Amino acid sequence: MNALLGIIFHSLGGASSGSWYMPFNWVKKWRWEIYWITGGLFSWLIMPYIAVALTVPHWHEVLQSAEWSVLRNTYIMGLLWGVGGLTYGLAIRYLGMSLGNSVLLGITSVVGSLGLPILRNIPGLGELLPSGLAFTDLFNSGGGRIVLLGILILLVGIILSGRAGILKDKDLGGSKEGVNKEFKLAKGLLIAIVSGVLSAFFSFGIDTGKEMGEAVRALAVEANYPFISEANGGFKYLFENNIIFFVILWGGLTTNLIWSLGLIIKNKTGKDFVDKKTPLVSNYLLCALAGTTWFLQFFFYGMGETKIGNGASSWTLHMATIILTANMWGFYRKEWKGVSKKSYNTILFGIGAILLSIIVIGVAKWLYPELNALG
């Protein structure tokens, strides 16, 4: 039952993540930095505060009693993830929902699944990280080898998706129009690689802040809160991760606020916030919708993590649902309109390989519970 609920929660989170950027496409006459930071205030400040206030018992006390090193490291993970989130918006702008998410989230899946295990093999660094399996341990077990096979398939999917982008660029040539008018392959792929690597730091932030989640869980169990369940020989509180997200998103807010304010000052676009020549009400509502939908991805991710853990299966299941949803939106927006059959089939094979890799890794996690220690 826990596994089924975990899959449902992660699927809801992935669907939210794959859809949140869509309202930005309907914002009119606002420059990118204006709608980005407006939506971001809902993503990184307003909605996390509401979630913590409503679901976390004595959240002020939890933060005050947390070790400074835990708060600092979780915040730093958020700062780095914030760069990934910032460049995510640019990658989608230049590559589109379909190709951008396939490449970016494929990379994020690899880094999020294997980043910590690889770092644990580095002398002197492994001791500073949360305990768990190292990368070399994967070669010594059947489950580890299945995970490595899944990662290999994932890399094939990323390569195919990138190949589809190259073919699309050739097909479109100089006749870019409609949703493809901002398509810039080289620039978009470079940004997607940076974003894909740094976006995985959200998963690392969950690990570095887990002591805060455990404190919330203890308080919830002591006060006999609802939504307490027993899993893997212990208790879990469905919303215990919201306090971790709260701190991670301080970092994300910091990074994006500095960058957006810099652009607003440089481009002198601050007047957009009050320009009555723009549809102000609808623009603010659309940004609020985008920001709220964005936050829901991690709200549901946190719920799913309490059911099946923050290891490879949680992260890759989350990524798979995002990729599937984002590509559905991409095809709906006709981002592959006007391309050759070869280009179209290549992106389909790329998406298929990425999704197959997720299934392979998920099966490995199910068959070999010791792989929980990957994350």
Q: Is the pLDDT of residue 122 over 80?
A: no
Q: Is the pLDDT of residue 258 over 90?
A: yes
Query: Which tens digit of pLDDT belongs to each residue from 315-335?
Result: 666 777 777 787 788 788 787
For residue 22, the number of C-alpha atoms closer than 13 Å in the C-beta half-sphere is 18
Max CA separation in the chain (angstroms): 64
Higher pLDDT, 234 or 8: 8
Q: How confident is the model at residue 78 (pLDDT cuts 50, 70, 90)?
A: very high
Q: Identify the sign of the CA torsion 360, 366, 370, 372.
A: positive
**What is the percentage of the chain residues whose pLDDT exceeds 90?**
32
Higher pLDDT, 33 or 173: 33
- Cβ–Cβ < 8 Å for 228, 291: no
DSSP labels, 236-279: EETTTTHHHHHHHHHHHHHHHHHHHHHHHHHHT-GGGGT-TTS-
Higher pLDDT, 312 or 99: 99
Higher pLDDT, 1 or 51: 51
What is the model's pLDDT at position 308?
A: 65
Neighbouring-strand partners of residue 231? 234
Cβ contacts of residue 191 below 8 Å, gap of 6+? 87, 90, 91, 94
What gap in Å lies between CA 88 and CA 82, rounded to an integer? 10
Question: If we measure between CA atoms, which residue out of 163, 112, 149 comes closest to residue 339?
Answer: 163
Q: What is the mean pLDDT of residues 89-98?
A: 76
What gap in Å lies between CA 163 and CA 153, rounded to an integer? 15
What is the model's pLDDT at position 136?
A: 79
Question: If we measure between CA atoms, which residue out of 79, 307, 98 comes closest to residue 204?
Answer: 79
Higher pLDDT, 93 or 44: 44
Higher pLDDT, 357 or 219: 219
Q: What is the mean pLDDT of residues 216-228?
A: 87
- Cβ–Cβ < 8 Å for 116, 207: yes
Higher pLDDT, 126 or 14: 14
What gap in Å lies between CA 216 and CA 20, rounded to an integer? 28
Cβ contacts of residue 325 below 8 Å, gap of 6+? 14, 15, 17, 18, 19
What is the model's pLDDT at position 145?
A: 87
Q: Is the pLDDT of residue 74 over 80?
A: yes
Q: Rounded to the nearest 5 degrees, what angle is found at the Cα of 319, between the Cα atoms of 318 and 323?
A: 120
Q: What is the mean pLDDT of residues 224-249?
A: 83
Q: Is the pLDDT of residue 178 over 70?
A: no
What gap in Å lies between CA 28 and CA 367, rounded to an integer? 50
Neighbouring-strand partners of residue 229? 236
**What is the percentage of the chain residues whose pLDDT exceeds 70?**
86
Higher pLDDT, 185 or 31: 31
Helix/strand/coil for 182: coil
Q: What is the mean pLDDT of residues 55-84?
A: 92
CA distances for 44 relative to 50, 161, 251, angstroms? 11, 30, 9
DSSP labels, 316-356: HHHHHHHHHHHHHHHHHTTTTTT--HHHHHHHHHHHHHHHH
What is the model's pLDDT at position 96?
A: 76
What is the model's pLDDT at position 195?
A: 84
Q: What is the mean pLDDT of residues 163-176?
A: 72
> pTM to 2 decimals?
0.74
What is the model's pLDDT at position 172?
A: 74
Phi, psi values for residue 235, rounded to 5°: -100, 150
Q: How confident is the model at residue 371 (pLDDT cuts 50, 70, 90)?
A: low
Query: Which tens digit of pLDDT belongs to each residue from 267-317?
Result: 999 999 999 999 999 999 999 999 999 999 888 887 877 776 555 556 666
Question: If we measure between CA atoms, which residue out of 217, 240, 237 comes closest to residue 227?
Answer: 237
Higher pLDDT, 124 or 255: 255
Q: Identify the sign of the CA torsion 219, 222, 225, 229.
A: positive
